[in-house]
A = this chain, B = another copy of it.
Amino acid sequence: MRLHVPTPLRWGDLDAYGHVNNARMLSLLEEARIQAFWVSDDTPEHAVGASTAVIDASAGTSTLTLIARQEVEYLAPIPYGRLPLDIELWIGRMGGASLDVCYEVYSPAGVEPRTLYTRAATTIVLVDAATNTPRRMTDRERAAWEPYVEAPAEFRRR
């Protein structure tokens, strides 16, 4: 199963080529990931991530989420638009203290033809903020994320 995270662009995401900048894409993935996984006091009840957002990553919290690796394929340039991109997000691997989040970034929901702009994967390590060492995934986290485990993204250019 995949989460669909509507992720708004900003005009400032464009670079001098007039398309979303390749580095900025990682900020968009970061934001989608946060919507999907991080607990937030102000999460609306029916939000994307209502069932999966179980990492308490607020200030002074016990968990840091460190990025160990990213892989991104840019398949088509992304123009600015007001409607949010439709980022499909799932878990390609769930390890002891880390997980691989996979993404397919599509044109906004409802816009035809649907275009796949980007395919990506991020390896996240859960780190105990007190000891600064990796910590094991909790049962609660594992249960919340299990339904979203699928085969990892397949990259064509490796």
Number of interface residues of A (CB under 8 A): 50
Chain B nearest CB, measured from A82 CB (Å): 5
Interface of A toward B, CB cutoff 8 Å? 8, 10-12, 14-18, 21-27, 29-31, 34-35, 40-44, 47, 59, 64, 66-74, 77, 79-83, 108, 111, 123, 155, 157-158
In the docked arrangement, what's the CA distance between A27 and B14, Å?
12
Residues from chain B with a CB closer than 8 A to the CB of A10 are 27, 30-31
* Contact with A71, one of B27, B70, B79, B80 (Cβ below 8 angstroms): B70
Given A16-B15, A27-B23: A40 touches B81 (CB 8 Å cut-off): yes
Residues from chain B with a CB closer than 8 A to the CB of A155 are 69
